[in-house]
């Protein structure tokens, strides 16, 4: 209240000063204008009276003055005629007896033989007196005075001040009303909500945060308070979960446990993650800049770790507005836990390193999906150059860090471990290969296989999703380069350096939110879905994901079991990826065409078998689809792990839902209760859909519960914890920094 009064007081004062100042100026201007007008009129009248009376005074005739007075005198204009001594010869009756006050003015006009003028009160009224000398042979022989009524000047001024006062009053009322509403709406209510939310959090109730307060109004204060409360909520939940797990003697990995584990194992040694894809890109949309989270399993997996442990994440700044936002930023923006360091690369470098060597060479090489890899010498040069650039940036970031921990990610950075280790032997370097590693023969077609293997073996630890991929890698090393593979310990020894090769099946963060029922109904209503069953698929449009195969299976399902038409709808969330590569563009067309023809041939006005949603969806949107869907299809032709499968399972908080999963994914080795399919076998996949919709609900529940328990237990914190534990176990030779 006191704030409101102070604010209103300031507004009133400002309004008073502005409108008072303007009114004063207006009055002053008006007065000057009217006075000048009066003076002009008085001078004209005085000249006319002078002309008419000059001859009469010169001749000394006593009559004739009345005519002059009658001719020029008016109700608001009195006339007086004087002789050479300043004695009144004749004057208008209303002033005749009261001319005393103007005598000095008239005398001055006669003596100086010049017109004079002044305001004077004559007979109780303010008048402008203009006196002109009457002359004969240029000598003064008397004077004529014209007295114009000036009373209205003051009345007009008063009137103006009165109107100003009314205007000021109305303005005050409006300013007060509007200010009160705005303050209540944008300040008092949001602050009350934040205060109430903070109070509830303090009392330990896990309530959703209020909508973000207007940051432009509160500056960083409201944002800081909000994020502080959020941090507090997270810390409380983590502490409560820890306490609960201690009580039940559970050894589940949590964000908090990972944080403490990393602290114990590595002390203050900072963590550096290197990946091609950045966790957040900034995109220019019209005149504003928006934050985008990429459709990347790698980001889904690593972000919770960075949130838990902090550190620096080095990645390619690929957003259209990244340079505007900055090279080094704290993330998340409203409550920074780690630093994103962006690396800039040219279009030419991106074409060779990312689109070319990484995605037209290594990607099809490692995924056995009958897509011929393209190896171009130019791409290889760019790949080497960009690896060196990232290594340089990383070394710059690590300059002051003692024995830093480096977690390099994926097939984009096969050469980076060696480059970093050579410059910083004290660093612990791990690289995780998120895609499959093929057998020796398949890998052998890569012209630069030795360089790639040597680059990777620069690391202390090389991780894959499965033991199978580790074995493929070790066999490739054994048969390609010089070095000793120790099959007992799964290590490679080259000279003084030993590299450990281990499987770490990647996972997702547990998802324990419970709002499923309402969410499901809302999403179905939004999509206009009325069918009994809703299936979902979430993919980048990539030839490894088996999208055309999936749609063929859906078509076959509706053909073989037509009684399920209008009873099942499938939603495909598709995000476009690597569209500069012709093979990806061709696939995008193929997928759209497949959806179109199925919908045209099988659908009708009230039902479309497939709803195809081709745009970027952020994580919270995708989660709604997971929670609304009765089943999810993952039909990759080859996949290192596939985190969509695990995310879908994690999101089924009521254990209702079924997963159809390709046997060629890493996930199929863990999620054994999924409906495992061969994506190349259309009949098999169609039958799996039928199995799902006809399954006994109890069986479906228990399958999902077992999978969910598994994902909860082997979650992303566990993945990072095991990787960190392995890295910490590796003996560190006491080497000087090179």
Residues engaged in binding ligand F6P (CB under 6 A): 276-277, 296-298, 410, 434-435, 577-578, 640
- H/E run at residue 282: strand 281-285
Written in H, E and C, the secondary structure of 553-600 is: HHHHHHHHCHHHCCCEEEEEEEECCCCCCHHHHHHHHHHHHHHHHHHH
Cα gap 40→42, rounded to integer Å: 6
Helix axes of 189-202 and 220-247: crossing angle, nearest 10 degrees: 20
Q: Strands (DSSP E) along 87-207, which ranges?
A: 88-91, 116-122, 125-136, 139-149
What is d(CA 17, CA 30) in angstroms, rounded to the nearest whole number? 20
Angle in degrees, CA 531, 536, 538, rounded to 5: 155
Task: Name 487's Cβ contacts closer than 8 Å, sequence gap at least 6.
Answer: 474
Give the shortest CB-679-to-ligand F6P separation in angstroms: 17
Least Å from the CB of residue 737 to ligand F6P: 31
DSSP helix/strand/coil, 142 = strand
Degrees, nearest 5: CA angle 149-151-152:
105
C-beta of 640 vs 657, nearer to ligand F6P: 640
DSSP annotation of 100 reads G
Q: Is the alpha carbon torsion for 518, 519, 520, 526 positive or negative? A: positive
Smallest distance, ligand F6P to C-beta of residue 277, A: 4
Nearest distance from C-beta of residue 306 to ligand F6P, angstroms: 15
Rounded Cα–Cα distance for residues 66 and 457 (Å): 127
What distance in Å separates the CA atoms of residue 394 and residue 416, rounded to the nearest whole number? Answer: 10
Cβ 544 to ligand F6P shortest distance, Å: 9
Cis ω for the linkage preceding 239 (within 30 of 0): no
Q: Which long-range contacts (CB under 8 A, 24 or more apart) does 694-701 make?
A: 695/658, 697/656, 700/656, 700/657, 700/658, 701/655, 701/656
- Closer Cβ to ligand F6P, 147 or 407, answer by number: 407
* Alpha-carbon gap, residue 83 to 89, rounded angstroms: 6
Q: Tell me whether residue 363 or residue 675 sits nearer to ligand F6P (CB atom).
A: 363
Residue 470 or 602: which CB sits closer to ligand F6P?
470
Burial of 5 (0-12, 13-18, 19+ CB in 10 A): exposed
Closer residue to ligand F6P (CB): 410 or 670: 410
Of the pair 507, 608, the CB lying nearest ligand F6P is at 507
Q: Pairing mode, if any, of strands 497-503 and 491-494? A: antiparallel
C-beta closer to ligand F6P: residue 638 or 703: 638
**Residue of minimal Cβ distance to ligand F6P:** 298
Nearer to ligand F6P, 588 or 599 (CB): 588
- The whole-angstrom separation of Cα 215 and Cα 220 is 6
Helix (H) or strand (E) holding 726: helix 716-729
DSSP state of 639: B
In angstroms, what is the minimal distance from the CB of 535 to ligand F6P?
A: 21
Strand duo 428-432 + 405-409: pairing: parallel
Residue 180 vs 468, nearer CB to ligand F6P: 468
Q: How far is the CB of 733 from ligand F6P (least distance, A)?
A: 32
Shortest Å distance, C-beta 410 to ligand F6P: 5
Other CB atoms within 10 Å distance of the CB of residue 232: 13
Residue (361 or 640) nearer to ligand F6P, CB: 640
Residue 396 Cβ, how far from ligand F6P at the closest point, in Å? 24
Residue 598: CB minimum distance to ligand F6P, A:
26
Rg over CA atoms, the chain: 45
- Whole-number minimum distance, CB 643 to ligand F6P, in Å? 7
Q: How far is the CB of 301 from ligand F6P (least distance, A)?
A: 8
| Closer to ligand F6P by Cβ: residue 524 or 613 | 613
User: How large is the angle between the packed helices 255-266 and 297-309, nearest 10 degrees?
Assistant: 70
Of residues 78 and 343, the one with the C-beta less far from ligand F6P: 343
Q: How far apart are CA 632 and CA 703, in angstroms?
A: 14
Beta carbon of residue 417, minimum distance to ligand F6P (angstroms, whole number) = 17
Smaller CB separation from ligand F6P, 68 or 644: 644
Cα separations in angstroms, 649 against 295, 378, 719: 18, 43, 17
Closer residue to ligand F6P in complex, CB, 380/433: 433
Sign, Cα dihedral of 440, 443, 445, 448: negative
Closer CB to ligand F6P, residue 198 or residue 281? 281
Based on CB atoms, which residue is closest to ligand F6P, 498 or 545?
Answer: 545
Q: Which residues contact 297 (CB under 8 A, 6 or more apart)?
A: 434, 506, 641, 642, 643, 644
Task: In angstroms, give the least distance from the CB of 429 to ligand F6P.
Answer: 19
The vertex-162 CA angle with 158 and 164, nearest 5°, equals 115
Q: Is 562 exposed, middle or buried (0-12, 13-18, 19+ CB in 10 A)?
A: exposed
Q: Residue 724 CB, nearest distance to ligand F6P (Å)?
A: 20
Q: What is the smallest separation between the CB atom of 272 and ligand F6P, expressed in angstroms? A: 18
């Amino acid at each position: 209240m006191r704030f409101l009064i102070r604010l209103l007081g300031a507004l009133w004062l400002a309004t008073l000063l502005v409108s008072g100042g303007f009114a004063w100026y207006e009055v002053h201007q008006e007065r000057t204008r009217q006075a000048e007008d009066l003076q002009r009129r008085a001078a004209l009248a005085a000249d006319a009276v002078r002309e008419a009376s000059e001859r009469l005074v010169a001749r000394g005739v006593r009559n004739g003055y009345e005519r002059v007075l009658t001719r020029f005198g008016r109700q608001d204009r009195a006339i007086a005629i004087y002789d050479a001594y300043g004695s009144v010869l004749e004057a208008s009756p209303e002033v005749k007896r009261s001319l005393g006050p103007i005598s000095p003015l008239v005398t001055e006009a006669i003596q100086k033989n010049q017109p004079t003028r002044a305001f004077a009160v004559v007979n109780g009224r303010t008048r402008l007196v203009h006196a002109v000398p009457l002359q004969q042979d240029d000598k003064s022989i008397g004077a004529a005075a014209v007295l114009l009524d000036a009373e209205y000047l003051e009345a007009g001024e008063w009137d103006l001040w009165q109107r100003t006062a009314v205007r000021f009053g109305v303005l005050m009322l409006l300013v007060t009303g509007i200010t009160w509403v705005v303050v209540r709406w944008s300040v008092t209510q949001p602050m009350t909500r934040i205060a109430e939310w903070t109070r509830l959090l303090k009392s330990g109730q896990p309530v959703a945060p209020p909508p973000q307060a207007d940051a432009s109004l509160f500056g960083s204060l409201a944002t800081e308070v909000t994020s502080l409360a959020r941090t507090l909520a997270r810390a409380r939940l983590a502490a409560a979960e820890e306490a609960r797990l201690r009580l039940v003697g559970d050894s589940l990995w949590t964000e908090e446990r990972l944080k403490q584990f990393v602290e114990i194992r590595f002390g203050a040694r900072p963590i550096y993650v290197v990946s091609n894809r950045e966790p957040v890109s900034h995109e220019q949309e019209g005149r504003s800049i928006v934050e985008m989270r990429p459709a990347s399993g790698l980001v889904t997996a690593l972000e919770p770790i960075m949130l838990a442990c902090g550190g620096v994440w080095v990645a390619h700044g690929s957003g259209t507005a990244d340079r505007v936002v900055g090279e080094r930023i704290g993330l998340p923006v409203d409550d920074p836990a780690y630093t994103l360091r962006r690396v800039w690369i040219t279009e030419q470098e991106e074409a060779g390193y990312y689109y070319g060597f990484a995605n037209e060479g290594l990607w099809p090489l490692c995924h056995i999906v009958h897509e011929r890899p393209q190896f171009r010498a130019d791409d290889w040069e760019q790949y080497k150059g960009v690896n060196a650039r990232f290594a340089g940036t990383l070394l710059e970031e690590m300059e002051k860090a003692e024995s830093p921990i480096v977690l390099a990610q994926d097939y984009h950075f096969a050469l980076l471990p060696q480059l970093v280790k050579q410059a910083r032997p004290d660093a612990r370097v791990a690289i995780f290969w998120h895609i499959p590693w093929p057998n020796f023969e398949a890998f052998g077609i890569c012209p630069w296989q030795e360089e790639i293997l040597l680059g990777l073996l620069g690391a202390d630890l090389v991780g894959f999703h499965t033991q199978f991929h580790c074995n493929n890698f070790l066999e490739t090393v054994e048969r390609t380069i010089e070095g000793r593979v120790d099959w007992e310990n799964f290590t490679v020894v080259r000279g003084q350096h030993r590299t450990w090769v281990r499987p770490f099946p990647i996972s997702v963060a547990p998802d324990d939110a419970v709002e499923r029922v309402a969410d499901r109904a809302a999403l179905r209503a939004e999509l206009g879905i009325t069918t009994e069953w809703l299936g979902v698929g979430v993919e980048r449009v990539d030839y490894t994901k088996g999208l055309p195969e999936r749609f063929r299976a859906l078509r076959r399902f509706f053909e073989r079991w037509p009684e399920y038409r209008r009873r099942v709808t499938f939603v495909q969330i598709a995000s476009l990826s690597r569209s500069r590569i012709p093979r990806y563009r061709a696939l995008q067309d193929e997928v759209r065409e497949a959806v179109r023809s199925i919908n045209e041939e099988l659908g009708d006005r009230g039902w479309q078998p497939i709803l195809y949603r081709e745009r970027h969806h952020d994580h919270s949107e995708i989660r709604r689809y997971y929670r609304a869907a009765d089943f999810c299809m993952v039909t990759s032709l080859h996949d290192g792990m596939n985190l969509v499968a695990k995310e879908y399972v994690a999101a089924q908080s009521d254990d209702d839902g079924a997963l159809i999963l390709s046997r060629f994914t890493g996930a199929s080795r863990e999620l054994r209760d999924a409906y495992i399919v061969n994506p190349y076998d259309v009949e098999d996949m169609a039958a799996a859909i039928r199995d799902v919709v006809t399954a006994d609900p109890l069986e479906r529940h228990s399958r999902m519960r077992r999978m969910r328990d598994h994902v909860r237990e082997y979650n992303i914190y566990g993945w990072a914890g095991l990787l960190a534990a392995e890295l910490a176990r590796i003996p560190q030779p006491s080497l000087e920094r090179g």
